[in-house]
Amino acid sequence: MNEDYLQNTVEHKPTYGIYILVWLVLMMLTGVTVAVAGINFGNITVAAALTIAIIKSYLVLTFFMHLNSETAMFKIFVGVALLFLLISIALLFSDYSF
């Protein structure tokens, strides 16, 4: 491998406690998602569910997929993919009538 790449890598060793804490938060947010789905908030029900899903996605990307220890270029690639996903969702909901 390239020596420059090996020198620029960041050693990351998250503890099991962090994983358990993030898992518990994800389980709590899943319960909130189920509760929100059962209550009729009108037009903001979908927005609330999507907000909770974004928070859960952030936690998974940051802790379980170790995005916080990746290079800047990889983070840009993930950001571009998320931008296209956001555009697709926006176009979907602009066509969908409530």
Specify the pLDDT at position 10.
58
pTM above 0.75, yes or no: no
Specify the pLDDT at position 30.
94
Question: Degrees (nearest 5) of the Cα angle 55, 56, 61?
Answer: 100
Q: 72-92, pLDDT tens digit by residue?
A: 898 899 889 989 998 998 888
Q: 25-58, pLDDT tens digit by residue?
A: 999 999 999 998 888 888 888 888 889 999 999 9
Residue 29 · residue 52 · CB < 8 Å: yes
